[in-house]
Amino acid sequence: MDATTPAVAGGFEPRITAFVCNWCTYTGADLAGTSRLQMASNVRIIRLPCTGRIDPMFITKAFERGADGIIVSGCHPADCHYNAGNYHARRRFAIFRELMDFLGVDTGRITFSWVSASEGGKWRDVVNDAVTRVRALGPFTDYRKLVVDPVATATGVVPPEHVGKEVPA
Amino acid sequence: MTELRELARRLLSEGTVNAVLGWEEGPRGARPAFVTTPEGADTLIFDHRCVHNLASYLSPRRPHLKRLGKVAMVLKPCDARAVAGLIRETQIPRDKVVLIGVRCGGVITDPDSTAPLTEATVADRCRGCPDREGHLADHTVGTAGPGFAGPSKRAQKIEELAAAPAEKRWAFWQSELEKCVRCHACRQVCPMCYCDRCLADKTQPRWIESSPHARGNMAWHVARAMHLAGRCVDCGECERVCPEGIPLGLITRKIAQVVSERYDFRPSDDPAVPAPVGTYRMDDPQEFIL
């Protein structure tokens, strides 16, 4: 199936947040764009200095705010602009992935990749694979069903981070 | 016990230390004690009710202990792992603390209980514990029981959860985590949670929603597990103090298993061995990365 087009017209389209490093994957994604490669438009990119800067809390926060899937991507091993950031990230996310799996989150929603500045084609594949996978898994309703602040619900005062967010029935 | 008291009295009267951290008989069973005079050494006890991990008091988050100067601490083998962790992370200088190791054959679940130590009352973490004496101690005293055979109920539960489908695990953890009232007792008691200002208390930005609802609870327990990855010493204190009885040890044990398998690290390792998260190897496995 082609990831760039929805499976069903008007059907579920996943929202995917990508945390990428400035030096490799961001430039690679830029290359994919300037090369006019066709890829799914479901991914919102957040540029960070390094994969070593990506705290696992970024991912839980993205899920809280309604992401259906996550991509974390950076420089290949030995290519880190800061020498070792990606090695640290590799350990951290190996553990994080196991933790999410243990807590019952489908790890298919979380994609890790190394994409260099010259790999526009690989970035397209990573994005299309992730979109296809998360589209099949469906919306991450489990996480969204985690109740919104009961105080806010009772008082009608909606905290800023909940504004514009769909409150499940 | 006489051996322990003798040693504490000697250390205090010789002026080697200004205080001895140990356990004493309290109104409701064993409780932590701070002995500052040689005469006070007679109140010290050690038996199977001495559950508390006193290494929490060495944590730099409790600066009032600094006033006491050099202290001695009575420690079980599991507490020794916590001290090793604090030394590893340069939170306490090794030469500023005298470690009195006590031989240990297991402790009970509840320090307030008067029940004898049996297969039924032993703390789950003591099942299968191979350590009879701590590996860092300057002095080692006492005698130990034979210990208890594993596997622990917790290890069995982890296996059972791992074998279950993801939806079951999600349902299990949601039913447990929804009980959390965010009292942060698990953080306060943890010898390895020593930040002056915890991520959970920060509001700009607020990474972890502070009210006790399922979403904030999930964020808190994910953060806690990640921050303790490769650092948890399995003293079981978080689970003991949890007012809601959430099996927090399952999460930290699961992560410890992952760390031990992937990076060949155990908290009982020498303090000179760096903590696994915060260091790396060029050839770390990366089968999960595209």
Q: Is residue A4 part of a domain?
A: no
CB neighbour list of residue A104: distance below 8 Å, 6 or more residues apart: A142, B166, B167, B168, B169, B170, B171, B172, B173, B174
Q: How confident is the model at residue B274 (pLDDT cuts 50, 70, 90)?
A: confident
By the CB < 8 Å criterion, does B232 face chain A?
Answer: no
Handedness of CA B42, B47, B52, B53 (dihedral sign): positive
Distance of CA A168 to the CA centre of its chain: 22
Q: What is the structure's pLDDT at A155?
A: 61
User: Which uninterrupted H or E stretch holds B29?
Assistant: strand B29-35
Q: Do B284 and A87 touch (CB under 8 A)?
A: yes
Contact residues on chain A for B249, CB-CB shorter than 8 A? none
- pTM (2 d.p.): 0.88
Q: Do B285 and A126 touch (CB under 8 A)?
A: no
Using left for φ > 0, alpha for ψ between -120 and 50, and beta otherwise, residue B119 falls in alpha
Reduced to 3 states (helix: H, G, I; strand: E, B; else coil), residue B106 is coil
Q: Is residue A22 part of a domain?
A: yes
Q: How confident is the model at residue A168 (pLDDT cuts 50, 70, 90)?
A: very low
Phi, psi of A19 (to 5 degrees): -100, 115
Q: Is residue A5 part of a domain?
A: no
By the CB < 8 Å criterion, does B241 face chain A?
Answer: no
Choose among B167, B213, B277: nearest Cβ to A92: B277
CB B217 within 8 A of CB B254: no
What is the 3-class SS of A57-122, one letter each residue? Answer: HHHHHHHHCCCCEEEEEECCCCCCCCCCHHHHHHHHHHHHHHHHHHCCCCHHHEEEEECCCCCHHH
Give the residue, B279 or B1, on which the prediction is more confident: B279
Q: How confident is the model at residue B29 (pLDDT cuts 50, 70, 90)?
A: confident
CB A102 within 8 A of CB B162: yes
**DSSP designation for B77:** H
Give the residues across from A16 on adjacent strands.
Answer: A43, A69
How many domains does chain A contain in total? 1
Give yes or no for residue A149 having a pLDDT over 60. no
Choose among B222, B288, B289: nearest Cβ to A99: B222
d(CA B261, CA B246): 25
CB B23 within 8 A of CB B41: no
Whether the bond into B205 is cis, omega within 30 of 0: yes
Q: Is residue A143 part of a domain?
A: yes
Q: Do B215 and A91 touch (CB under 8 A)?
A: no
Domain of A142? 16-162
- Interface test mutation site (partner B, options A71, A73, A88, A99, max chain B beta carbons within 10 A): A99
| CATH value at residue A33 | 3.40.50
Instruction: Looking at the complex, report in whole angstroms how far the Cα of residue B206 sits from the nearest Cα belonging to chain A.
Output: 10
Handedness of CA B257, B228, B62, B245 (dihedral sign): negative
> Is the interface score ipTM higher than 0.85?
yes
By the CB < 8 Å criterion, does B10 face chain A?
Answer: no
Q: Do B169 and A102 touch (CB under 8 A)?
A: yes
Give yes or no for residue B194 having a pLDDT over 50. yes
Tokens of B95: 């030469």
Q: Is residue A34 part of a domain?
A: yes
How many other C-beta atoms can be found within 10 angstroms of the C-beta atom of residue A132?
17
Q: What is the structure's pLDDT at B93?
A: 87
CB B228 within 8 A of CB B238: no
Choose among B216, B255, B280: nearest Cβ to A90: B280
Q: Which chain B residue shows the shortest CA-CA distance from A130?
A: B290
Choose among B169, B262, B290: nearest Cβ to A111: B290
Q: What is the dihedral of CA B161, B165, B166, B168, to 10 degrees?
A: -70
**Mean predicted confidence (pLDDT) in B134-162:** 87
Tokens of A37: 């490669």
d(CA B254, CA B156): 11
Q: Is residue A141 part of a domain?
A: yes
pLDDT digits (tens, 9 = 90+) for A10-30: 678 899 999 999 999 999 999
- Residue owning tokens 């099942």: B127
Q: Is residue A116 part of a domain?
A: yes
Q: What is the structure's pLDDT at A132?
A: 92
Greatest mean pLDDT among A1-15, A68-82, B137-151 lies in: A68-82
Give yes or no for residue A56 having a pLDDT over 90. yes
CB A32 within 8 A of CB B187: no
User: Which uninterrupted H or E stretch holds B33?
Assistant: strand B29-35
Identify the CA nearest to B70 among candidates B91, B53, B95, B89.
B95
Give the residue, A25 or A154, on which the prediction is more confident: A25
Identify the CA nearest to A18 among candidates A46, A50, A39, A38.
A46
Q: Which residues of B84-116 are buried (b: 16+ CB within 10 A; e: fewer)?
A: bbbbbbebbeeeebbbbbbbbbbbbbebeeeee
Q: Is residue A2 part of a domain?
A: no
Choose among B214, B225, B282: nearest Cβ to A147: B214
- Interface test mutation site (partner A, options B222, B253, B254, max chain A beta carbons within 10 A): B222
Contact residues on chain B for A126, CB-CB shorter than 8 A? 290
